[in-house]
Chains A and B, each alone.
Chain A
Amino acid sequence: MELTNHFPALILAILLGISFLSPILYRWARKASAPALIASLFLALVMAVYLLVQVLQVGEFTYYMGGWPPPWGIEFKVNLLRVYMLLIVLAVSLWIMVYALKDLEHELKTEVMGWYYTLYALVVGSMAGMALTNDLFNLFVLMEICAISACAIISIKEDRACLEASFKYLILSAMGTGCFLLGVAMIYMVTGQMNYDLVNAALPEAVELYPNNMFAAAALFIVAFGTKAALFPLHVWLPDAHASAPSPSSAMLSGLVIKIYAFALFIMFYQLFPRSLLESIPLNEIVLWLSSMGIMFGSIFAMVQVDLKKMLAYSSIGQIGYVFLGIGLDDIIAMTGGFYHLLVHAIMKSMLFMCAGIIIYTTGIRQIKQLGGIGQVLPITMIAFTIGSASMIGIPGTGGLISKWYLALGALEIGRPIFVVIILASSLLNAVYYMPIIVNAFMQQEQFQHQVKPVPRKMLIPLIVGMAAIIFFGVFSRPAIVLLDEALALFF
């Protein structure tokens, strides 16, 4: 059917459309606004699944916006890896939204809920666009949409902590954008193209004449995407931002937003730049060592935190380090591990933030040392927390082990076992700060002292789905791994 050809654009259009409609619906048809958002997210997910089926049958294909081919028009490319990212973004955001419907009522003022839906839809839409786009300037625009709406879903809570955190995030994000745009300028100056494939074709001859532009662009891209994806040492905005945001925003930010920038960096290195660049300068080495430091420091800082959400935020810094480790090792097996970790971490970190959100919703507690004995009053929540932590540590049977397996295997393949030691040491550190919470929650002698509101079912169902998903991706990982292998083979 003719319509199905336009699905790549329609996904974006639906999400942008609902973001514009939400305030109107919220003002005049309040009861319809949440279902409308869920329905549009679901519709976008269905379209993404259709795209997956199409790619599996036909292979990679492209879509021209408005029918204008590049270099005049914007191109959306649909291949296995991009559809993989698209599915992760849409599925996880739908799942978080189901949780958010109930949780937002107590975190936000009632009159701004409609605006939250707008911002949420904008974040999801821009990330979906970033997964599909094949044009540098389109990436810039979508990146900016994502940046503003990501900062806004933090500051919408309007208390002291989140405003300052949001502003810090905005400034550093803007710095990243400035660097990115300068990098694009560098590339445009010598190639005259904006489309990834056309740039890739034009760069080798351009580099003959102007070698420094490409190096400058590569460096600026690392800074830009590193800032936005919290690569050490550009991660300083993350703990405040993710800890002070409302819990669904934390889940969305930790789980998806930082990942899409890691994906964008991967696309820059492997699709935009020619292979000879990666071989002539050790860009991978830089990313590799920065990610290793991020892994270690993220875990070390997490150990000393007293606030639950801040601990989870520092843990995110370590975990995104794994994804960058996969990219930095420059081996297809390690990349498979890194991208699988992207999927697994999106689910498990979002679930952990949801558990934290439920704890705050029912008891108002944010400090870890006050969580003793909470397992007796919130059993399902703490079991979900246990499974999420088990996956973080890398217990077999959960998805975390599979990604660590592949990362370790990749590190050994290229003959650098030191990174296996780093992965294992960080698993141990993860255990050191997750285990005490679980043990104290279930083993405490005294009864839990605080008032507990009952947990709404709408907030528990996403947890159960999340637990099932983590164990599913730990046991039945084969389909996803095979898909990733095929997806990444295109780039090598």
Chain B
Amino acid sequence: MEMLIKIAHNYYYMVAILLFVIGMHTMLTHSNLIKKVIAMNIMDTSVFLMFVATGYTYGGAAPIVTAPANEVLYVNPLPGSLMLTGIVVAVSITAYALSLVVKIYRYYGTVDYDEICLIRSRE
């Protein structure tokens, strides 16, 4: 019972972990290359979600200082800004991965990983 209450309070984290596992599983098992890239994005996004959710302070205000009124409680801005960097990193990896997929399609004629392995083993 206590466990369920804890889960209910921290549902952000549970969803994040769920998305992480979905992403990792898809990345490793599905053979379509585009799906792998999408799954990689889902996995990274889930970690960003986790991080940002960590920063949230219940009852806090947005972390912008507007003088002269100073709130007592702010949401932690640090994870958010860190994750901006993380999102940039994920985007660049996605861009590179997709360009690789385009090139692979040009050379192999397919974006299915199992077929590519068959073609490579025949060479």
Question: Direct A–B touching in the complex (beta carbon < 8 Å)?
Answer: yes
Bound CA–CA A152/B103 (angstroms): 13
Q: How far is the CB of A238 from chain B (nearest CB, A)?
A: 16
Can you list, as one digit per residue, whether each of B76-105 has a CB less than 8 Å from chain A (1) or not (0)? 000100100110010011001100110110
Once the chains bind, are B24 and A175 in contact (CB under 8 Å)? yes
| Interface membership of chain A positions 128-159, coded 1 if the CB is closer than 8 angstroms to chain B and 0 otherwise | 00000000010011001001100110010011
Known: A141-B89, A160-B120, A175-B28. 4 other contacts (CB 8 A): A137-B85, A155-B100, A164-B120, A181-B51
Query: B72 CB to closest chain A CB, in angstroms?
Result: 19
A163-B104, A178-B20 known; A151 vs B89 contact (CB < 8 Å): no
B32 within 8 A of A: no
Interface size on B, residues (CB 8 A): 32
A-B contact count (CB 8 A): 82
Q: Is B47 interfacial (CB-CB < 8 Å)?
A: yes
Docked pose: A177 CA to B107 CA in angstroms: 28
A182 to chain B, nearest CB (A): 5
A194 to B36 CA separation, bound complex (whole angstroms)? 30
Chain B residues with CB under 8 Å of A161's CB are 120
Which residues in B have some Cβ–Cβ distance to A below 8 Å?
20, 23-24, 27-28, 33, 36, 40, 43-44, 47, 50-51, 54, 79, 82, 85-86, 89, 92-93, 96-97, 100-101, 103-104, 107-108, 116, 120, 123
A167–chain B nearest beta-carbon distance, Å: 5
B63 to chain A, nearest CB (A): 15
State A481–B20 Cα separation when bound (angstroms).
Answer: 43
Could you tell me which A residues sit within 8 Å of B by CB distance? Answer: 137, 140-141, 144, 147-148, 151-152, 155, 158-161, 163-164, 166-167, 170-171, 174-175, 177-178, 181-182, 185, 188-189, 194
A376 to chain B, nearest CB (A): 31
A140-B86, A164-B104, A171-B40 known; A185+B51 contact, CB < 8 A = yes
CA distance A141 to B23 in the complex (A): 21
Interface residues of B, dominant DSSP: helix
> In whole Å, how far is B99's beta carbon from the nearest beta carbon of chain A?
9
Contact across chains for B103 and A181 when beta carbons are under 8 A apart: no
Closest A-B pairs by Cβ, 5 of them: A178-B43, A181-B47, A144-B89, A174-B40, A185-B50
User: A167 contacts B93, CB within 8 Å?
Assistant: no
Can you list 30 pairs linking A and B with CB atoms under 8 Å apart? A137-B82, A140-B86, A144-B92, A147-B93, A152-B96, A155-B100, A160-B120, A160-B123, A163-B107, A164-B108, A164-B120, A167-B33, A167-B100, A170-B93, A170-B96, A170-B97, A171-B97, A174-B40, A174-B93, A174-B97, A175-B40, A178-B20, A178-B23, A178-B40, A178-B43, A181-B44, A182-B47, A185-B51, A188-B51, A188-B54
Residues of A within 8 A of B54 (CB): 185, 188-189
By CB atoms of chain A within 10 A, which of B100, B101, B104, B120 has the most?
Answer: B100
Nearest CB in chain B: distance from A69 CB, A: 16
CB distance from B81 to the nearest CB of A (A): 10
Nearest B residue to A178 via CB reads B43
Chain A residues lying within 8 Å of B28, measured Cβ to Cβ, are 175
By the criterion CB–CB under 8 Å, are A185 and B97 in contact? Answer: no
User: Across the interface, do A181 and B86 meet the contact criterion of CB distance under 8 Å?
Assistant: yes
Return chain A residues, CB-CB under 8 Å to B51.
181, 185, 188
| B100 lies within 8 A of A170 (CB) | yes
The docked-state distance in angstroms from the alpha carbon of A182 to that of B14 is 13
Chain B hits for A185, CB < 8 A:
47, 50-51, 54
